[in-house]
Amino acid sequence: MAVNPGDADELPSMLWGLDPVFSAYSRLYITDILQMKESTQVPGVYFYKTHPIFKVDVLGTVVYKREREDFYCYGVDDSTGVINCLCWKDEKSSDQGGSTKSSDPSGSSRGFNIEDELRRLKEAEQKSTVLEIGDLLRVRGTVKTSRDAREISATSFYKVNDPAMAVQISRMLEMPQLYRKCYDQPSQKPGDDLGGTEAGGSSRFHYLLSRSVLTLKEFFLEKEVARFRPYDVEFLLHPLIQSPSAEQESDQPGTSFATQIRNLLKETLSVLQEEGQIFRKIRAQDEVYNVTEQDKDLHTAIKDVLREDTKREKYAEKGCHVLHILSSLRQRYSQNLSREVLEIALTFLECNSDIISTKESHYTVL
C-alpha cells in the first residue's frame, strides 16, 4: 500500500492505542489545540507533535455565549487562545421543566422528601451548566473541525467556582510539567521485551513505566498513603506485566516475571523521587518512602518555619524564599529533602489555603 507523504511523521493508526495520551483527555493549551494537524489516516484525530489526540480537557473563562434550542456555544479563553465549545443541553432537565415539584406538600415539612431533594439537585445541576460571560468553565470533549474552524464538542462541562483561584493556580503549575514530561516527549513504537532493559532502553518499557507511575500516584491519592515500603506496593504492578510460562522462566531467567517487576518498580520509584512525589526521610537499610502530599509532619515543619521566620523583619514583608525554607527544613526535618519535594509540598499547602505565595518563589503563612 502506498504511503502518503503526510503520513511520514505519524505513528501507524494500529499503534495509537499504545500511546497513553491517546486514551486520555489531554490537558493542552488552547493555542496548541487550534494548531494541531489532522491525521491523514483517520479524520477526527489530530497530532500534537507525535501524539495522536482526539479528546481534550480545557479550563478557561467564558468570553462569548450563544444559545440555541439544543445547545450552548461558549467561547473559552485560557489566555493562550479562544476556542468554541459546543455544549449540549440536558434533554431530561428541559423536558421535565417545572414538573419536579413535590406531590406531597405536607411531607416536606415532616422531614426528608425525596422529590424535593431531586428537584434541588436538578436545579443545582442546571445552574452549573448555564454560564455567563466571565464565568470559569471546564470542558471535556472531542476535537472537531467545523467550517474550517477548530472546536470542542463537549461530553461534559460545568461551571467552576474558584474564588481563591486555587483550581486555576493548580492547573497553571501542572500544565508545564505535563508538557515537559509527556506531551513534548516523542511517542515511540513498542519494543520487543521488558526484561533486562533500563529506563530509556525499550519504548515498551517507557510505556509500562508511565502506566506504573500513574498507578502508584492514584493509589497514594485514593488510600491517602503517607509512608510505604517497596514490597507494600509491588502487587499493584502485577497486572501491568503478564507472567511468562514456567518454561520461559527456566529458559530465560533474566526476563522472569519477578525480574521484570523488580526492574519496573525500581524505575517507577526513581521517577517518583525525581518528580518530588515521594522521598526517603532517612537513608537506612529499611527502605521507607514518604509520600509528599500526605506527609503531615513535613507540612507542619514547613508552616513552623514560615510562622517563625516571617516574624523577622528580613522576611516580614515578602516572605521566605524557597531556598531558605529548604535550608531550614534540611536542618530540622530531613537532610535528604530535595527542592522538587518542597515545591510539591508548598503547592499542596497553598491549594489548601495554609500558606500563600507573596511573589515568585516566596511564601508566607496565613
| Cα distances (angstroms) measured from residue 158 to each of 78, 86, 332 | 15, 13, 44
Check whether residue 311 and residue 219 sit in a common domain: no
CATH of the domain at 24: 2.40.50.140
The residue that leads in pLDDT, 6 or 62, is 62
More confident residue, 198 or 212: 212
Considering only CA atoms, which of 324, 366, 355 is closest in space to residue 169? 355
State the pLDDT at residue 46. Answer: 94
Q: Indicate the range of 17-21, 210-214, 236-240, 350-354 predicted with least confidence.
A: 17-21
Domain assignment of residue 178, yes or no: no
pLDDT tens sequence across 79-97: 999 999 999 887 544 444 4
pLDDT band at 316 (very low <50, low <70, confident <90, very high): confident
Residue 53 lies in a domain: yes
Domain presence at residue 38: yes
pLDDT over 70 at 249, yes or no:
no
pLDDT of residue 148 exceeding 60, the answer is yes
DSSP string, 281-346: SS--SS--EEEGGG-HHHHHHHHHHHHHHTTSHHHHTT-EEHHHHHHHHHHHT-TT--HHHHHHHH
- Of 137, 162, 187, the last residue of a domain is 162
Q: Quick one: average pLDDT of 109-136?
A: 76
Q: What is the DSSP string of 6-20?
A: GGTTSPPGGGGGGST
CA 359/CA 340 separation, integer angstroms? 19
56 and 131 belong to one structural domain? yes
The answer, yes or no, to whether residue 75 has pLDDT greater than 80, is: yes
Identify the pLDDT of residue 219. 92
Task: State pLDDT tens for residues 201-232.
Answer: 445 677 788 889 889 998 998 899 999 999 99
Regarding whether 317 and 267 lie in a shared domain, the answer is no
Weakest-pLDDT range from 18-27, 64-73, 86-95:
86-95
CATH of the domain at 228: 1.10.10.980
Does any domain span residue 170?
Answer: no
Is 132 part of a structural domain of the chain?
Answer: yes
Whether residue 130 sits in one domain with residue 35:
yes
- 15/151 same-domain check: yes
Mean pLDDT highest for which of 82-86, 246-250, 352-356?
A: 82-86
Residue of 149, 134, 161, 160 whose CA lies nearest to 74: 134
Same domain, 29 and 83: yes
Within a domain: 167: no
Task: For the chain, give the mean pLDDT.
Answer: 82
Which of 291, 320, 347 is the last residue in one of the domains? 291
> Residue 121: pLDDT band by 50, 70, 90 thresholds?
confident
Q: How confident is the model at residue 23 (pLDDT cuts 50, 70, 90)?
A: confident
Quickly state the pLDDT bin for 102 (edges 50, 70, 90).
Answer: very low
Sheet holding 46-48, edge to edge: 37-38, 46-48, 51-53
pTM summary value: 0.49
Query: Looking at the structure, do residues 9 and 124 belong to the same domain, yes or no?
Result: yes
184 contacts 49 by C-beta, under 8 angstroms: yes
pLDDT at 246: 39
For residues 222 and 268, state if they share a domain.
Answer: yes
Strand partners, 86: 73, 153
3 state DSSP class of 164: coil
Residue 46 in any domain: the answer is yes
CATH code of 328's domain? 1.10.10.10
Percent above pLDDT 70 for the chain:
82
Judgement on whether residues 248 and 140 belong to the same structural domain of the protein: no
- 338 C-beta neighbours (distance < 10 Å), count: 17
Q: What percent of the chain has pLDDT over 90?
A: 43
The predicted structure's pLDDT at residue 207: 76
| Pair (39, 122) in one structural domain | yes
Our count of domains for the chain comes to 3
Q: Examine the domain organization and report whether 255 and 108 are in the same domain.
A: no
Burial, 140: exposed, middle or buried (Cβ in 10 Å; 0-12, 13-18, 19+)? middle
Determine the 3-state secondary structure of 233 from DSSP: helix
Give me 247's grid cell: 518454561
Q: Is residue 182 assigned to a domain? A: no
* Phi then psi dihedrals of residue 154, to 5 deg: -75, 135
Q: C-alpha grid cell for residue 348? A: 499542596
Residues of the domain holding 230: 203-291
Same domain, 250 and 269: yes
Residues 233, 61: Cα–Cα separation, whole Å: 40
Query: Residue 243 above 60 pLDDT?
Result: no
Final residue of a structural domain among 291, 325, 353:
291
